[in-house]
Amino acid sequence: MERNSLPISAWEEAERVDKVLRAVDTRLDGKQAAAWSRKRHRRILNVVMKHAIRRRVLRTNPLPKGKESTTVAKTSNAVDKRSLMNADQAAALLDWVRRRPRGGRRLHAFFATLYYCGLRPEEAVAMRVEDVTIPGPDARDQWCELLIHTATPEVGKQWTDSGEIHEERDLKGRAEGETRTAPGHPALTRILRQHIEDEQLEPGDLLFQGETGGILAGSVIRRAWRSARKAVLPPHVFESPTGKRVYDNRHTRLTKWLNDGIPPAQVAEWAGNSVPVLLATYARCVDGQLPDLKKRLEAAGDLPELPDAG
């Protein structure tokens, strides 16, 4: 490393700094990295520079500052409206998964939970049977409730201390140990009740398991979803962003809640987002409310008519 490393004085040369920035903005295949990746790489590089200044290895931060540093990687959190599924598409996809010969019913319950409750995939795979409150078959209110308290994202064996593919973490954007609940439609109640019965699950068991009883693998989830899209959607829709990612089940549900008039504060609570993040992400997807808004504006009336001056 010492033999192949430039001296620290190289950071004082503007041309070399530009070369480093071009490198962190470029993928190994020579193409430009995604905007979020470029922003993240530059942020990390800035942290390194600040550390070097604190250790008195560098006198000043040689990286661009202000507008010059931010214009290179403009990013947006907004969801692409084209990625949202309509009710017919979602129903067809879930039905195809349910009919899948290998593990179809198990995966159907998983995808239905994402669609009806807007969970993140890493939250759903971490759920236990005891985290679901299911009313009795004869109860008048057939809405179930999900308690979300853990996430197990798939990060890879080389990045976990345990050597496992998944790593158990607290909920995204929440304080340590914090939980949240989300309501489950009566249709989901029926699906989960049958799922628990068919799989003979106990309260402490994972709600959604792989074939060997362990955590449901992300590769299995993604493969099943892609197969469903290819089998159900017309070719031009399959090639489009519609439901392209498993995560689009969550986007579709949160957008539907907002379009159905659920207050943003409530949707944010169910989804595990802050209200500002929720609105910035889904504002472009909210529609269907214009006729009602026009009626409200008309009801407010026009300016009063003033008498003629003469």
> What is the per-residue pLDDT across 275-306, written as a single tens digit (0 to 9) for each?
998 988 887 787 766 677 677 777 777 777 77
Distance CA 121, CA 134 (A): 21
Tokens 């009063």 sit on residue: 304
Backbone angles phi, psi at 88, to 5 degrees: -65, -40
The residues that bridge with 147 in the sheet, in sequence order, are 181
CA angle 96, 101, 104 (to 5 degrees): 55
Helix (H) or strand (E) holding 148: strand 144-148
3-state secondary structure of 157: helix
Query: What does the pLDDT read at residue 166?
Result: 63
Helix (H) or strand (E) holding 39: helix 35-54
pLDDT at 27 over 70: yes
pLDDT at 246 over 70: yes
Could you count the other beta carbons within 10 Å of the beta carbon of residue 96? 19
Among 27-31, 36-40, 65-69, name the one with the lowest average pLDDT: 65-69
171: alpha, beta or left, given left = phi > 0 and alpha = psi -120 to 50?
beta
Query: What does the pLDDT read at residue 143?
Result: 95
Residues 6 or more apart whose Cβ sits within 8 Å of residue 269 = 180
CA angle 286, 144, 146 (to 5 degrees): 75
Res. 39 pLDDT band, cuts 50 70 90: confident
Give all strands of the β-sheet with 180-184 in edge-to-edge order: 132-133, 144-148, 180-184
Q: State the DSSP code for 208.
A: S
For 21-25, what is the mean pLDDT? 89
Strands 132-133 and 144-148: antiparallel
pLDDT at 73 over 60: no
Question: What's the first-to-final CA gap in the chain, in angstroms?
Answer: 92
For 89-104, what is the mean pLDDT? 94
pLDDT digits (tens, 9 = 90+) for 166-217: 677 767 766 677 889 999 999 999 999 999 999 999 999 999 998 888 889 9
Helix (H) or strand (E) holding 275: helix 275-282
Backbone angles phi, psi at 234, to 5 degrees: -60, 155
Could you count the other beta carbons within 10 Å of the beta carbon of residue 273? 20
pLDDT digits (tens, 9 = 90+) for 120-130: 999 999 999 99
Distance CA 103, CA 89 (A): 21
**Cα-Cα-Cα-Cα dihedral sign, residues 171, 174, 178, 181:** negative
pLDDT digits (tens, 9 = 90+) for 257-272: 999 889 999 999 999 9
**Contact criterion met (CB below 8 Å) for 108 and 98:** yes
Query: What does the pLDDT read at residue 139?
Result: 92
Res. 155 pLDDT band, cuts 50 70 90: low
Distance CA 9, CA 11 (A): 5
**Contact criterion met (CB below 8 Å) for 90 and 83:** no
